[in-house]
A and B are shown apart, each in its own frame.
Chain A
Amino acid sequence: MNDETLTFYYYNDGLTREERQAVANRLATDPGTAARYQVICRQLDQLGAASITAAPSDMVERWHESINRAVRSESAMPRKPVLHTWSFIWGAAVTAALAIGIGIGVYISGGNVSEAVLPDVIVAANPNSSAFVRGLRVHLRESEQGLSETPFDATADRTLLLMRIIEQNRLFEKVAQRNDSPALARVLRSFELVLVRLAADDITPEEAEELQAKLLFELNVILTKLDRESSDESGII
């Protein structure tokens, strides 16, 4: 009986009922196999007692802050009504209209982003610093991923997602502007225009799809640039 069989007997996985029974019989009758199995068990138990790598405290702070940001984003839009199954389609339409009409209208046209929501690490960062570049990369990557994964018919989810992206985008734009990186600020502003259009209530699915494809392409381009130039201290765009 080989070690592989004994290993998966330990895991209680990957063996048929008959194979497991055969191992049990062998362990009961063959002291040599039983001793070998004991060694395997002891070593695998030791491997299971692996230590935990503590996350740096600034990282943990960022996670806390990300939840706070998500809560703030949510509170900026009207609460989605509870829907009954029979009224799902009408309800979704009403929710979408309310979310887009009230939520985006109030939120986006509000203009200024509160200083209070700027994460310290971003505020302190110079656009050429690795912290800023890294944060920007995460923002762009998450935007790209979120937009790709949220279906066009999930109207309320898309609205919430777009609001979050716009909020984040403004933070980075603001810091870029503040730190004399007008080129980067301009690029981010151009993203916002597209994002706002994507969130508009009069956009057709075809236009949304086309616009999103363009946006995803641009996000990819800038992400590629960031990846390539992240070690270049002369600039990121």
Chain B
Amino acid sequence: MKGAELPTQAQFHQAISSRSDRWYSACLRITRSPELAEDAVQEALLSAWAKRHQFNHTARLETWIHRIAINAALQMLRKNRPGLFEPLDIDVPDDGGGPEAAQHNRDIEDTFSAALDVLSEIERVCFVLKHLEQWRLKEISEEFDINVGAVKQAVFRAVRKLRVQLDGMQGEQS
């Protein structure tokens, strides 16, 4: 992509063809809802198109849209689950998000996603952002307006639980 040229319609289509699975996967891991994940990607695309003059050419278009999609997914999650990101002082088990979330989860045939089921929502989202999206702890804390310690706690709880899951899966395989 050259200098200050705006990303073109063709480049957007190319980005969708090559990277939309990654955007969708990332949004799905955050929202646990195929519908919300689709909406988040859709919103990101339209937002990126409308604001394409703000596109910084030091990054790739796909990466820029990815980040917008993540933000859209987080916004949708917050809207659908108010109070989700209030800091937790204790390690509480997740209630699974009710029958609707459980149904969505059954639809997600992904071993890793299944492993994420053992996490509470705050643990899952903090883990996904830290581990898979490589956000800094400070960025996550600013995003959710909670302190870094709470984010750190959530990430570590997630890691601890996932390591136990991983041990279990490896035990079953051997």
Contacts and interface: CB of A to CB of B under 8 A. Distances in A.
B85 interface: no
A47 B162 contact: yes
Nearest to A141: B39
Interface string B2-25: 000000010011001100111011
Interface stretch (A49-57, A100-108, A120-128, A208-216): A49-57
A134 B34 CA distance: 13
Interface string A59-92: 1101110111011000000000000000000000
A194 B166 CA distance: 56
Measured as residues with beta carbon below 8 angstroms from the partner, the interface class of chain A is 20 to 34
A81 to B, nearest CB: 13
B103 interface: no
B138 to A, nearest CB: 8
Measured as residues with beta carbon below 8 angstroms from the partner, the interface class of chain B is 35 or more
Interface stretch (A7-15, A17-25, A184-192): A7-15
Nearest to A145: B43
Contact of B24 (A11, A51, A59, A67): A59
Contacts of B112: 47, 50-51
- SS class of chain A's interface: helix, strand, loop or mixed? helix
Given A3-B156, A47-B162, A50-B29, 6 more contacts: A3-B160, A13-B136, A53-B113, A55-B38, A64-B13, A67-B45
A66 B45 contact: yes
B156 A46 contact: no
Contacts of A63: 16, 20, 41-42, 45
Nearest to B156: A4
B39 A67 contact: no
Contact of B43 (A13, A43, A142): A142
Interface of B: 9, 12-13, 16-17, 20-22, 24-25, 28-29, 35, 38-39, 41-43, 45-46, 49-50, 108-113, 130-132, 136-137, 148, 152, 155-156, 159-160, 162-163, 166
21 contacts: A3-B160, A4-B156, A7-B155, A47-B162, A50-B110, A50-B132, A53-B28, A53-B110, A53-B113, A55-B21, A59-B38, A62-B38, A62-B42, A63-B42, A66-B45, A67-B12, A70-B49, A70-B50, A71-B49, A134-B35, A138-B39
Nearest to B140: A13
Contact of A53 (B42, B108, B162): B108
Contacts, number: 94
Contacts of B42: 62-63, 66, 138
B132 A66 contact: no
B93 to A, nearest CB: 20
A63 B42 CA distance: 6
Nearest to B163: A43
A47 B25 contact: no
A160 interface: yes
B24 A53 contact: yes
Contacts of A111: none
Contacts of B136: 13
A55 B163 CA distance: 28
Nearest to B162: A47
B151 to A, nearest CB: 8
A64 B16 contact: yes
A11 B155 CA distance: 11
B110 A51 contact: yes
